[in-house]
Amino acid sequence: MMIKCFSVEYDQMNERATFSPGDTLSGRVTVEARKETKVQCLMVKAKGKAEVKWCDQDGPTTTLNQEKKHYFHLEIIILQDKNKGDGSEIVGQGRNVYPFTFVIPNIDMPSSYEGKWGRIEYSLKAKLSMSIWSIHKRKIEFPFLTNAEFPFASKSEMIIIGLQEQQSAMKMSFYGSGKVTLNVSSEKTGLRQGETMQVSVEVLNDSTQAVTPKFYLCEKQTFVAQSKTIVHINEILFGTGESVQAQTNRTIRNVLSIPSQLPPTFFNCSLMKLEHTIKVTLGDHLARDPDIKLPLVILLASSKPHHKKPKDKLGTWK
């Protein structure tokens, strides 16, 4: 109980409170001791990694699929005794503050992300060793943003232009004793966090029953480990259109609003990727093949809104 409080924290660089490749990450480790205390080592590490993990069940057999990718591993030793285990380093009574600085490698790395079976994590970890029986640790994460504005494809001019172009798709679905034709269109393919876009669906209802289209924003998470792949689909309902009566035609419009905190589309991680689509469906058990999808690329917001300091910015051990 020599150590009253042990914590690690970092300094924010911008209004987003995020870091990117090439940035300087500065902070401090604070050790509050009840009295003068001998220590063996005080160190702090900065890490960036992606990790995927899930289990497959085949009868009584459970198989763990797991894989990691390390982007960087940096380490600074703040205090270390002269001879291993002799406790020649001293932490004074009261509050002791030890600053540190890391330079994040300037390489292509994906943004922080947490999905169903995997996460991309950037963290700081402080470790205070007093003896082999007395070790204090504290870990906190810091939000990381890739430098790539388009972390899913080439930055060619044609790709950028293509994201602004209108897109459409048509599908015919058999419904009861007739058929329903859906013609779905959106204003563009690429949309930034927080932006809105109109989605239209032309319904040609040649069936004998009324149909009601529903609009979804779909998120497809793909994870890869040990040459195996697993997919998780998350659907967000953003609108329900008015009913289209039998033997009538109608065009229904709805506004898709991208939540500002929704993770952007990305492909620049070898263990996982995130894709988005717009789905329009009749959503009825009587319909065969009732869904129609349009690809959607969600980009990082161009503006930089002010955010409160993240709750895990300061980590404390007591």
Structure confidence at residue 157 (pLDDT): 44
Partnered with residue 69 across adjacent β-strands are 50
Query: Are the beta carbons of 12 and 310 closer than 8 angstroms?
Result: no
Of the two residues 318 and 41, the one the predictor is more confident about is: 41
In the chain, CATH 2.60.40.640 covers 3-147, 157-299
pTM of the predicted structure, to 2 decimals:
0.84
At residue 39's C-alpha, the angle toward residues 35 and 40, to 5°, is 175
Model confidence at 317, pLDDT cuts 50, 70, 90, reads very low
311 pLDDT higher than 60: no
Dihedral over alpha carbons 228, 233, 234, 240 (to 10 degrees): 170
Locate all alpha helices (DSSP H) within the chain, ordered by sequence.
157-162
Query: Are the beta carbons of 268 and 152 closer than 8 angstroms?
Result: yes
Nearest to 8, CA basis, from 47, 58, 38: 47
Of the two residues 210 and 216, the one the predictor is more confident about is: 216
- Rounded to 5 degrees, φ, ψ at 105 are -55, 140
Nearest to 141, CA basis, from 120, 127, 118: 120
Strands (E), 150-193: 167-175, 178-186, 190-192
At residue 94's C-alpha, the angle toward residues 91 and 98, to 5°, is 55
Establish how many alpha carbons lie within 13 A of residue 308's alpha carbon, considering only the half-sphere containing its beta carbon. 3
pLDDT in tens, 43-67: 999 999 999 999 998 888 999 999 9
**CATH topology classification for 157-299:** Immunoglobulin-like (2.60.40)
pLDDT in tens, 252-270: 999 999 998 899 999 889 9
230 pLDDT higher than 50: yes
Structure confidence at residue 251 (pLDDT): 95
Percent of the chain with pLDDT over 90: 57
Structure confidence at residue 10 (pLDDT): 97
Query: Are the beta carbons of 204 and 251 closer than 8 angstroms?
Result: no
pLDDT in tens, 106-130: 998 999 999 999 999 999 999 999 8
Query: β-pairing, 135-141 with 272-281?
Result: unpaired
Amino acid at 209: Q
- Arithmetic mean of pLDDT over the chain: 86
The mean pLDDT of 216-237, rounded to a whole number, is 95
**CATH topology classification for 3-147:** Immunoglobulin-like (2.60.40)
314 pLDDT higher than 60: no
313 pLDDT higher than 80: no
